């Protein structure tokens, strides 16, 4: 199935036809693997309902795609993209939020962190901590409140990997023995956001 990725540990696993544009109803970030196949996140415009608690819509059935063991299917969830939740930040005291997307649903326990580089004012790096607020099955948010940033600072995700800080990030499909998710961000294209006045 050339339009659907099924390779283990590949950041390009998502369906090839889905756009990366976050403003699209069919954003690639809202699609993830389960053992039913590739599914569309519930509660999105593309799923046809606004009930985020509904079962995800199966887009293509590929039995055991996410894998029942650490040697079948996609095996371990792989980070496929990252973004700042808002495209630009104003100078001053702000909350910085970034979002990491995996190719499978993941479960977070504890308070893993992501470091955000800040070039320009000399402040940073900033350590963002996992928050359940705004997170979905395969997209997890990390935030830091009340951080001072200056005009023309350039915030960058991607220079460092996720740190567990005593927590865990693992897949949600295995019973009993969860497979640890990839914490590697360095292989993805770095994402920047420039601070404006």
Q: Give residue 174's pLDDT.
A: 64
3-state secondary structure the chain: CCCCCCCCCCCCCCCCCCCCCCCCCCCHHHEEEECCEEEECCCCHHHCCCCCCCCCEEEEECCCCCCCCCCCCCCCCCEEEEEECCCCEECEEEEEEEEEEECECEEEECCCEEEEEEECCCCCCEEEEEECCCCCCCEEEEEEEEEEECCCCEEEECCCCCECCCCEEEECCCCCCCCECCCCCCCCCCEEEEEEC
The answer to whether the beta carbons of residues 185 and 162 sit under 8 Å apart is: yes
Q: Give residue 4's pLDDT.
A: 65
Whole-structure pTM value: 0.86
The answer to whether the beta carbons of residues 195 and 90 sit under 8 Å apart is: yes
pLDDT in 10s for each residue of the chain, 197 residues: 455 666 665 656 666 777 777 778 778 888 888 888 888 888 877 777 778 778 888 888 878 888 777 677 777 888 888 999 987 888 888 899 999 999 889 999 999 999 999 987 778 789 999 999 999 999 999 999 989 888 889 999 988 899 999 999 998 776 556 778 888 888 888 999 999 87
> For the chain, what are the domain ranges?
79-196
**Domain 79-196, CATH 2.60.40 — does that match?**
yes
Q: Give residue 14's pLDDT.
A: 65
Which residues, in sequence order, are bridge partners of residue 36? Answer: none
- Residues with Cβ within 8 Å of 175's Cβ and at least 6 positions away in sequence, in order, are none
Which residues, in sequence order, are bridge partners of residue 102? Answer: 79
């Amino acid at each position: 199935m050339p339009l659907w990725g099924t390779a283990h540990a590949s950041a390009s696993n998502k369906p090839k036809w889905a756009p990366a544009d976050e403003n699209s109803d069919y954003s690639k970030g809202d699609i993830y693997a389960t053992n039913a196949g590739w599914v569309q996140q519930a509660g999105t415009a593309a799923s046809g309902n606004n009930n985020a608690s509904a079962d995800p819509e199966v887009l293509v059935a590929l039995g055991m795609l996410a894998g029942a063991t650490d040697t079948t299917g996609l095996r371990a969830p792989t980070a496929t993209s990252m973004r700042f939740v808002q495209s630009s930040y104003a100078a001053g005291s702000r909350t910085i939020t970034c979002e990491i997307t995996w190719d499978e649903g993941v479960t977070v326990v504890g308070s893993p962190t992501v470091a955000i580089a800040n070039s320009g004012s000399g402040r940073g790096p900033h350590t963002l901590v996992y928050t359940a607020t705004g997170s979905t099955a395969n997209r997890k948010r990390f935030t830091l409140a009340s951080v001072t940033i200056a005009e023309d600072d350039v915030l960058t995700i991607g220079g460092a990997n996720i740190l567990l800080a005593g927590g865990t990030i693992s897949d949600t499909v295995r019973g009993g023995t969860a497979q640890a998710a990839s914490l590697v961000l360095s292989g993805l294209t770095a994402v920047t956001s420039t601070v404006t006045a």
